[in-house]
């Protein structure tokens, strides 16, 4: 009985020691990091031992340009609603819708006979006052000075009246202020037109103008004189144009900038009101280092990025240049050939060990090319 009890105690002691040893080996196994090559998870996952899986790209100079595609509307270069300033009886209409007219050509006459009569009446008054002034001057000192001044005043007033009558007579004839096409006519012989009522709409179609609204991220790369292409549904063949004007202030409602593209339109294929697609490709400049803005990391007042230095990450403060949509030109801090961390950089600290999962080259049209 005593021997059996001793054996039982011995077995219990051995079992406890074995369990304790198993727990020690298990804890030791948890403390040992897995091999570097066995890190798993997403590219940004940080494995035990401070190793972070990342993707990198070799930085090379590229052309910082892009093609801007925008909806636009065809407009006439000049568009005028012509009217008679004084109104009156419509005596004659010399054009019809669709007619092409020259600059200065008469289009309609409104109460011109009445105004011509007023010119003749004013001319008679000028002649009479002129003769009266001549008689007063011939009398010399025998006439009172006040009478001479009255004759002079009457003559001056008559001349002013004649000038006014001539202006009114000229405005009784509606003329074309520029060469163009009549697209609307609201005048009929025999009608009485109210003062200022539009009678003729005249547009200049050669050249034509295409207006487009450009967001602020794109307007900074546009320059007046750049080439453009215009496509309309009525004609799939692109029509060459040029950026003629860039408005220097945004529309307060849309916060977009108005850009005007001028098109020769000699065959008048573009008509006001057509919807167009505008393609503008800014002129290519010298190759520069251009990276995605998403690869930047902000630290306090500095903006920089992480580069690969041996097997660790190093933070570099960068000097930033112009923004081109979702890309940015780097003016300083990076050199051609640097290995830039492009995925996993959000979780990095200076000096972290790296496990590179994929390599590429930056950039072609803003994209990384993997080899």
Instruction: Give residue 234's pLDDT.
Output: 84
Please tell me the least confidently modeled range out of 24-38, 40-54, 158-172: 24-38
221 vs 365, higher pLDDT: 221
**Whether residue 256 is found in the same domain as residue 327:** no
Find the helix packing angle between 145-171 and 112-139, rounded to 10°: 160
Indicate yes or no: pTM above 0.75.
no
For 126-156, the pLDDT digits (tens) are: 999 999 999 999 988 888 889 999 999 999 9
**Whether residue 275 is found in the same domain as residue 294:** no
Average of pLDDT values for 244-270?
Answer: 92
Given 122, 154, 170, the domain boundary residue is 170
Please tell me the least confidently modeled range out of 115-129, 174-188, 229-243: 229-243
**Whether residue 296 is found in the same domain as residue 357:** yes
Is 321 a member of any domain? yes
Instruction: Give residue 235's pLDDT.
Output: 81
**Whether residue 131 is found in the same domain as residue 271:** no
* Counted domains in the chain: 3
Instruction: Give residue 361's pLDDT.
Output: 93
Is 5 a member of any domain? no
**Whether residue 269 is found in the same domain as residue 314:** no
Cα 129 from chain centroid? 63
17, pLDDT greater than 80: no
- The mean predicted confidence, pLDDT, of the chain is 84
**Whether residue 59 is found in the same domain as residue 72:** no
Is 59 a member of any domain? yes
183 closest CA partner among 107, 249, 111: 107
23, pLDDT greater than 50: no
Split at pLDDT 50, 70, 90, the class of 321 is confident
Instruction: Give residue 75's pLDDT.
Output: 93
For 325-350, the pLDDT digits (tens) are: 788 889 899 999 999 999 999 989 99
Question: In the chain, which residue ranges form alpha helices assigned H by DSSP?
Answer: 2-31, 112-139, 145-171, 216-219
| Share of residues in the chain with pLDDT > 90 (%) | 61
Looking at mean pLDDT, say which of 14-28, 189-203, 278-292, 357-371 comes out highest: 189-203
33, pLDDT greater than 70: no
Please state, in angstroms and rounded to a whole number, the distance separating the CA atoms of residues 176 and 201.
10
187 closest CA partner among 205, 171, 177, 174: 174
**Whether residue 276 is found in the same domain as residue 302:** no
Is 258 a member of any domain? yes
CATH number of the domain encompassing residue 165? 1.10.287
Structural domain boundaries enclosing 126: 112-170
Average of pLDDT values for 111-140?
Answer: 94
Please state, in angstroms and rounded to a whole number, the distance separating the CA atoms of residues 56 and 161.
85
Instruction: Give residue 8's pLDDT.
Output: 40
Is 340 a member of any domain? yes
Instruction: Give residue 134's pLDDT.
Output: 93
Burial class of 115 by CB neighbour count within 10 A (0 to 12, 13 to 18, 19+): buried
Is 294 a member of any domain? yes
CATH number of the domain encompassing residue 306? 2.40.420.20
Instruction: Give residue 64's pLDDT.
Output: 63
**Whether residue 268 is found in the same domain as residue 308:** no
Inter-residue contact 101 to 176 (CB < 8 Å): yes
**Whether residue 301 is found in the same domain as residue 333:** yes
CATH number of the domain encompassing residue 238? 2.40.30.170
**Whether residue 217 is found in the same domain as residue 72:** yes
Instruction: Give residue 342's pLDDT.
Output: 94
Please tell me the least confidently modeled range out of 5-14, 64-73, 285-294: 5-14
**Whether residue 242 is found in the same domain as residue 297:** no
Is 298 a member of any domain? yes
3-state secondary structure of 98: coil
Please give the full DSSP string across 112-153, using - where no structure is assigned.
HHHHHHHHHHHHHHHHHHHHHHHHHHHHGGGS-HHHHHHHHH
- Contacts made by residues 266-270, CB under 8 angstroms, sequence distance 24+: 266/206, 268/205, 268/206, 268/208, 269/232, 269/234, 269/235, 269/239, 270/74, 270/205, 270/208, 270/210, 270/230, 270/232, 270/239
Cα 170 from chain centroid? 43
Given 232, 257, 280, the domain boundary residue is 280
**Whether residue 72 is found in the same domain as residue 217:** yes
Given 170, 189, 214, the domain boundary residue is 170
Is 272 a member of any domain? yes
């Amino acid at each position: 009985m005593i021997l059996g009890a001793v054996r039982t105690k011995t077995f219990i002691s051995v079992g406890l020691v074995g369990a304790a040893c198993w727990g020690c080996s298990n804890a030791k196994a948890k403390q040992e990091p897995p091999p570097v090559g066995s890190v798993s998870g997403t590219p940004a996952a940080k494995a035990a031992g401070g190793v972070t899986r990342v993707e990198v790209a070799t930085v090379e100079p590229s052309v910082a340009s892009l093609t801007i595609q925008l909806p636009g509307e065809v407009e006439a270069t000049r568009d005028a609603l012509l009217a008679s300033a004084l109104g009156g009886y419509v005596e004659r209409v010399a054009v019809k819708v669709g007619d092409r007219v020259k600059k200065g050509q008469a289009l309609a006459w409104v109460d011109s006979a009445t105004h011509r009569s007023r010119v003749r009446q004013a001319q008679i008054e000028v002649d009479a006052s002129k003769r009266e002034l001549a008689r007063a001057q011939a009398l010399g000192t025998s006439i009172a000075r006040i009478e001479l001044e009255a004759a002079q005043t009457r003559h001056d007033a008559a001349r002013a009246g004649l000038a006014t009558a001539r202006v009114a007579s000229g405005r009784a004839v509606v003329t074309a202020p520029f060469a163009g096409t009549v697209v609307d006519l609201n005048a009929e012989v025999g009608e009485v037109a109210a003062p200022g009522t539009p009678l003729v709409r005249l547009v200049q179609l050669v050249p034509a103008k295409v207006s487009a609204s450009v967001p602020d991220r794109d307007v900074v790369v546009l320059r007046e004189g750049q080439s453009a292409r215009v496509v309309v549904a009525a004609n799939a063949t692109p029509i060459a144009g040029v950026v003629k004007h860039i408005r220097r202030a945004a529309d307060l409602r849309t916060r977009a900038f108005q850009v005007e593209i001028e098109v020769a339109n000699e065959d008048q294929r573009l008509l006001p009101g057509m919807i167009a697609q505008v393609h503008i490709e800014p002129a290519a400049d010298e190759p520069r280092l251009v990276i995605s803005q998403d690869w930047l990391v902000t630290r306090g007042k500095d903006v920089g990025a992480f580069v690969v230095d041996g097997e660790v990450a190093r933070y570099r403060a960068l000097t930033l240049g112009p923004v081109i949509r979702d890309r940015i030109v780097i003016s300083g801090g990076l050199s051609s050939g640097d290995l830039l961390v492009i995925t996993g950089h959000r979780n990095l600290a200076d000096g972290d060990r790296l496990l590179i999962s994929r390599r590429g080259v930056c950039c072609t049209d803003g994209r990384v090319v993997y080899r």
